[in-house]
Chains A and B, each alone.
Chain A
Amino acid sequence: MSVILRIRNLKKYFPTSKKGVFVKAVDGIDFDIYKEDVFALVGESGSGKSTTAYTVIGMYEATEGKIEYKDLDISRIHWKRPIQLKKNIQIVFQDPGTSLNPSKTVSQIIGAPLIIHKHLRGEKLREAIINALNMVELPSEYIYKLPRDIGGGEKQLVAIARALSAGPEFVILDEPTSALDVSIQAKIIRTLLKLKEELGLTYMFITHDLSLVRNISNRVAIMYLGKIVEQGPTSQIFAEPSHPYTQMLLSSIPVVTKAEEAFKPKQVQSTGEIPSPVDVPPGCSFHTRCPLAWDTCRKIEPQPVELQPGRIVKCHLYSKHKATLSGAKL
């Protein structure tokens, strides 16, 4: 398996009105995305997962660190990136209500990447647009409709068709279902997975929906306050979450049956809210909410520990500081 996207020590700080004070939206993260994987980036609102996505696609310029796409350094803002790259990396936004131009028809929306990257005109262009529509299982008549004439789920399908029309390799999905009705979410996810298989795509899936992550992704990274606290294969993380934050998140998945309840890790009460990324707590940034935190956690930032190949966790429970553990129970 080859690495398609490699992120090293990526940082994105936003300046605030106060001089010298920054919002540390993304604060030194590392991860690799392998070809044809579905990589899920999970976190609460404000954890920096969307900022990560926007930095990868080039909407923001990285403050520090490296983004490599197939060994090509792309840690630049989008207009400084080669055009070929824009064909290869695409994004689907969260809210299809705002990601489709209200004054453009579906055919103009889907056609834009085809004109830019494939230089199609006339009948060829039209065929390609209809192909893209059929790919997401929308009827061909939709090409002359305006976004306001179609439903929310259909809009998202159009947005997906736009992202895929020019034939990208890597698609960032920024919470593609969270603005939609539950009944439509399943259809969107099904379509996305089908297209991934057909076209051999790689997805970076940004979401806060853990049940969805378990169902569709094969690798997952959990973000908290701009840092990745734990990452690894989805099955391992769901079976045996290591970081207290992961445990907290997993135990807060709402379930219906007893059988599902049994799947969950031991109950960890979810307490408090994510602190502001302007004023990140010292030491381990999760210590303010961690039920297991001790002195070390408040002073020293934990370093990543590789529990198993590809399974990385950032917590003192697993680091050498564990030796100084006093009174904390596992």
Chain B
Amino acid sequence: MRDSTVAIDISARSAYAERLKRAWYRFSRSKLSLLGLLMVASIIFIAIFAPVVTPYPEHAGAFVDFGNTMHPPSLEHPFGTDAMGRDILTRCFFAFRGALIMGIVVLAIVVPIGTAVGLFGGYFEGKWFSTIVMRVTDVFLAIPPLVLALAIAALLKPTLTNSMIAVCISWWPWYARLVYGMTVSVRNEPFVKAVELTGMNRFKIMFSEILPNHLGPILTKMTLDMGWVILTGASLSFVGLGEQPPTPALGTMVSDGAKYLPTYWWISVFPALMIVIIILSFNLLGDGIREMLTSGE
């Protein structure tokens, strides 16, 4: 008995390793997915080690150097300097922090809430409380997320926290809808019926039998959404509803530079380019994850 148990454990571990290997193979087949992964890793690395990797870390705060204002891109200041004489590259890299925090915190709040609502609504589809919950979701979905986020952020004090709250309120319904749809489609499958007929608790059925089947699409959407949440956050800070100066935020930097266009183009073009790169990286990574989870099974 003991020998066979050990043998089973070894084969279990190798089966798991095999599954991981196959998943990595499917992911790495596309060079673009690898590029996405590399870029996302670099963005995270830069954000964490911003004080070390940037040339002028002190420029990230309330720093003024009127002797060096509006320098065009050069070797010393690859992205140029702004109206306060601060290095734009440094400020962009520091702004990655706020952007990533925005994305991670918003998704960490939105995904569990949206998933729970969607699971509940989908599993009890047809019952009156499910109908109420899903109609409320629809009301939120009817308003474009950016408009809703702007409206909410305008009501609150302009801080990073409040802009995150605003984005959260406008974002959860998308997860609720996604999970709702998937739950409705599996809830009558025999594998769900089988555990129901065995007498499994309904919450356990929702969270431990149905939910694991949705993790792939949820993970894919999360990765793809990361970029969009960051863009929405940048949009809020563009109109002054996000992070307040002097803390650098990509949206604020773009709007600051807009006044000086087109002569001093670098002030807003480089932060804008950074937003594009962040969204692009997460989208490439998301596509790779989708490829990994959906193909070859």
A and B pair up: yes
Of B47-55, B101-109, B140-148, B188-196, the one with at least 4 CB within 8 A of chain A:
B188-196
Cβ–Cβ contact B11 & A91, under 8 A: no
Cβ–Cβ contact B191 & A99, under 8 A: yes
Given contacts A103-B212, A112-B195, 16 further A-B contacts (CB under 8 A): A57-B197, A78-B197, A87-B199, A91-B194, A99-B193, A103-B213, A104-B212, A112-B198, A116-B198, A116-B199, A117-B199, A140-B8, A141-B8, A144-B12, A144-B15, A145-B15
Cβ–Cβ contact A101 & B197, under 8 A: no
CB nearest to A96 among chain B residues? B190
B interface residue numbers (CB < 8 A to A): 4-5, 7-8, 11-12, 15-16, 19, 189-200, 202, 209, 212-213, 215, 297
> Please, which residues of chain B bring their CB within 8 A of the CB of A113?
198
> Please, which residues of chain B bring their CB within 8 A of the CB of A94?
190
CB nearest to B211 among chain A residues? A103
User: Is A100 close to B, CB under 8 A?
Assistant: yes
CB nearest to A101 among chain B residues? B191
Cβ–Cβ contact B191 & A141, under 8 A: no
> Please, which residues of chain B bring their CB within 8 A of the CB of A141?
7-8, 11-12
Cβ–Cβ contact A98 & B198, under 8 A: no
User: Is A245 close to B, CB under 8 A?
Assistant: no
Question: A91-B194, A98-B189, A98-B190 known; A143 and B199 CB under 8 Å?
Answer: no
Cβ distance A184 to chain B, nearest Cβ, rounded Å = 19
Q: Jot down 19 A-B pairs with beta carbons below 8 A, ordered by A.
A: A58-B197, A86-B199, A90-B197, A90-B198, A93-B193, A98-B189, A98-B191, A99-B190, A101-B191, A102-B191, A103-B215, A104-B209, A112-B200, A116-B198, A116-B199, A126-B5, A145-B15, A149-B15, A166-B198
> Please, which residues of chain A bring their CB within 8 A of the CB of B199?
83, 86-87, 116-117
Cβ–Cβ contact B213 & A102, under 8 A: yes
Binary B-proximity of A129-153 (CB < 8 A = 1, otherwise 0): 0000000000011011110110000
Cβ–Cβ contact B16 & A144, under 8 A: yes
Other-chain contact of B8, A57, A93, A143, A162 (Cβ < 8 Å)? A143
User: Is A59 close to B, CB under 8 A?
Assistant: yes
Please provide the chain A residues from 95 to 119 with a CB less than 8 Å away from any CB of chain B in the complex. Answer: 95, 98-104, 112-113, 116-117
Question: A78-B196, A86-B197, A91-B197 known; A144 and B11 CB under 8 Å?
Answer: yes
> Please, which residues of chain B bring their CB within 8 A of the CB of A126?
5
> Please, which residues of chain B bring their CB within 8 A of the CB of A103?
212-213, 215
> Please, which residues of chain A bring their CB within 8 A of the CB of B7?
141
CA–CA, A270 to B11, complex, Å?
54
CB nearest to B195 among chain A residues? A112
CA–CA, A117 to B198, complex, Å?
8
Cβ–Cβ contact B193 & A59, under 8 A: yes
